[in-house]
Amino acid sequence: MNAAVLYGKEDLRLERVAVPLAGPGELIIQVGAALTCGTDLKVYKRGYHAMMLKPPIPFGHELAGVVSEVGAGVTKFALGQRVVALNSAPCDVCYFCRQGQQNLCEDLTFNNGAYAEFIRIPERIVEKNTLVIPEHVPFEHAALTEPLACVVRGLEESGARAGDSMIVIGAGPIGLMLMHVAALAGVEVIAVVKRHDQIETAKLFGARQVMQVGLRDALDVIDAARALTPERRGADVVIEAVASPQTWHWAVGMVRKGGVVNFFGGPPSGTKVQLDTNRLHYGDITLKASFHHTPSTCRTAFELITSGRFKCAEAITGRVGLEAVPSVFRAMMTRGGAAGIHKPEIKTAIFPGGVR
């Protein structure tokens, strides 16, 4: 079969590899659609991911498709079923799982290889994080479950309630998803974006107000964002979805006293920031970070997708065949427009069986 294999930094190759076989408790899925992801782009740039993969390894982790082989002992799924399989599953027995923090499981089972004609789904993911797709839901929409599950958890962890004000810094795929899920929950969303072409997209995904950073210096950005909040006091919740020291500083400056900052973006290892401890202490500000998803948030995300509430079609801005994967990632490095991708880029759907 054809598959995209990551060999190292910016070294992604389309190769012929053996079709995987299902072991006990496992499934083989014929991939109907896979999606590009910001995490995959970071891994592509760095050449590895300490937790999830080490090259050379089949690449990609957001997918949906059809069960083509059922391993011994599997009773929940059958040949021909349309399913979405998440990229991980917790053990449910370690300390963190017992504390209700399955995203921090000490033995998370990860899976990669979505950019391929077929993918093997490990037993634990089959048991805990594989879901049957209703017939009316396209594969590329169902494949949004994994990133959306991370977003759902980020929103839950932020404690935002209907009527609250929220600033989302960043209008990449995750930032837009955060805006949309927050808006669906009745939160008043203010988007802080970098480029002019992101303004209308942020509004499409639920932002009531949008501020373009432009050439403002750091102080101007913070003051301008606070000016959009009730009585200029700052937002109840600020979510940082860029992963840079500068935007971490902005987030702390934009939140109100007693508010919550969620550092959702994942900076490179070794990144350091200095924060105003006086503001944090006397402002009674809560700082949080959100990583990954849980089986519960996966199901919440799946319901948002299958119910039609989430703007799935609007999140898919490109459609290409499997052979285009290396060129798509090269284009993503410069926000370029690979064939079939429209600006602003959000998610590109990869169809191993050809673009429909």
Instruction: Check which CATH number belongs to the domain holding 285 and give it.
Output: 3.40.50.720
Cα–Cα–Cα angle for 51, 95, 263, rounded to 5 degrees: 50
Do 282 and 164 belong to one domain? yes
Do 91 and 131 belong to one domain? yes
Do 208 and 135 belong to one domain? no
E-strand spans in 148-242? 165-169, 188-193, 209-212, 235-240
Q: How far apart are CA 227 and CA 238, in angstroms?
A: 14
Helix 173-184 vs helix 145-158: crossing angle, to nearest 10 = 60
Q: How many CA atoms lie within 13 A of 206 on its CB side?
A: 23
User: Is 50 a domain residue?
Assistant: yes
In tens digits, what is the pLDDT along the chain, a chain of 356 residues?
999 999 999 999 999 999 999 999 999 999 999 999 988 888 888 766 656 777 899 999 999 999 999 999 999 999 999 999 999 999 999 999 999 999 999 999 999 999 999 999 999 999 999 999 999 999 999 999 999 999 999 999 999 999 999 999 999 999 999 999 999 999 999 999 999 999 999 999 999 999 999 755 656 899 999 999 999 999 999 999 999 999 999 999 999 999 999 999 988 888 999 999 999 999 999 999 999 999 999 999 999 999 999 999 999 999 999 999 999 999 998 864 444 444 678 999 999 998 97
pTM: 0.94
Do 206 and 130 belong to one domain? no
Query: Structural domain of residue 112, as residue ranges?
Result: 2-144+310-351
Longest dimension (CA), the chain: 62
Do 9 and 130 belong to one domain? yes
User: Is 216 a domain residue?
Assistant: yes
E-strand spans in the chain? 2-8, 11-16, 27-35, 57-58, 62-70, 82-85, 88-89, 109-110, 118-121, 130-132, 165-169, 188-193, 209-212, 235-240, 255-263, 286-289, 316-321, 347-351
User: Is 120 a domain residue?
Assistant: yes
The domain that contains 40 carries what CATH number?
A: 3.90.180.10
User: Is 259 a domain residue?
Assistant: yes
Number of folded domains in the chain?
Answer: 2
